Amino acid sequence: MNIVFNILFVGMSYLLGLSVQNPSIVGTWVNESDAKDKYVFESSGLVYSYYDNQLVATYDYSISNSSPQCGVKVPIDMHTSYLKLTPSIKKLGDHTISKYDDPEPLCYEINGITEEHLSLRVVDMGGYTLFRRQ
């Protein structure tokens, strides 16, 4: 019975465009074009952005299948997923981690995700960035 409920919940959430954390994104992802660029996604909904092993930003993240994304109308179908990174201010030990001067969220289309690779495209732009799971 529990399995049926979970399948129905996930299916309905997907169809309704509700934000559902995707456990497959949890982990450490390194940019294949720039090994100094790294994102660490936690199951808590936080993601840490590092450059050259220095923490540069902390975000709350969500994955959804809804439009608009960051104010841009995007296509929605059963194969689309979007990643939204919202700057957050969090305590890390005794340190407060502040964000960019621009508190606007960042939105990406998830082109694909496997156990080894994550491909993201900035919403309303061409190209893609490929990450490898560390």
Instruction: Compute, in degrees rounded to 10, the torsion defined by CA atoms 104, 75, 14, 31.
Output: -60
Q: What is the pLDDT of residue 38?
A: 98
Residue 59: CATH number of its domain: 2.40.128
- Check residue 89 and give its pLDDT: 65
What is the predicted pLDDT for the residue at 98? 54
Count of domains in the chain? 1
pLDDT at 103: 72
8-state DSSP, 12: H
**Model pTM?**
0.74
Structure tokens, 88 = 């957050």
- How far from chain centre, in Å, is Cα 86? 9
Q: Which residues of the chain, if any, have pLDDT below 70?
A: 1-23, 89-102
User: Looking at the DSSP assignment, which residues form a beta bridge with residue 82?
Assistant: 64, 109
* Parent domain of 39: 2-133
